[in-house]
Amino acid sequence: MEKVVKNDPELTERNNIITIAGGIHMEVQHIDGTKETVKVRQIPATKLETFMTKLADEATSVSIYCDKPTEWVDTLTQESMNEICEKGLEINESFLNAWCRRRAKWTEMMNVGVIAEMQTKLDALNAILASVTSAQKLPIITASDQKR
């Protein structure tokens, strides 16, 4: 496993090249033995929501990384799929981490508002219940003079 150094000029240069090019080219192999060079790219903003909502579906991830239809993914060897997934994650990891942090913050902010609204309703309900229970109770008579 290679050690990553934050101030590594070689790594910085490589990341700059990936950013400028929008990804990297790599050779993949199809099940039928043919090979193809594809660009594993940074996820476009317009594809981010699809990518994140289908995160567990690696066929969708590979399709987005390579800008290919999902049917194309089925033609790849498992090794090529793994390589694309690893490279795609490497290229997009810092952006996806930042996106997840932003999303979590928005969710937290929205939840705080929802919880505050629920607390207000709960307080109002408690006030109503308190007024009902403190109201004078009428006597309940269970014995009645019934004629049969």
Provide the number of structural domains found in the chain. 1
Would you say 31 and 24 are in contact if contact means Cβ atoms under 8 Å apart? Answer: no
Q: What is the chain's percent helix, strand, coil content, to nearest 5?
A: 60, 10, 25
Q: Is residue 118 part of a domain?
A: no
Which residue segment(s) compose the domain that 75 sits in?
9-93
Report how far residue 136's alpha carbon sits from residue 146's, in angstroms, rounded to the nearest whole number. 28
Say which DSSP state 97 is in.
H
Token pair belonging to 142? 């269970």
Q: Is residue 143 part of a domain?
A: no
- Report pLDDT for 18: 55
Q: Is residue 14 part of a domain?
A: yes
- Report pLDDT for 77: 97
Report how far residue 116's alpha carbon sits from residue 66's, in angstroms, rounded to the nearest whole number. 44
Q: Distances in Å between the alpha carbon of 139 and those of 25, 69, 142?
A: 86, 76, 10
Regions in the chain scoring below 50 on pLDDT: 1-5
Q: Is residue 54 part of a domain?
A: yes
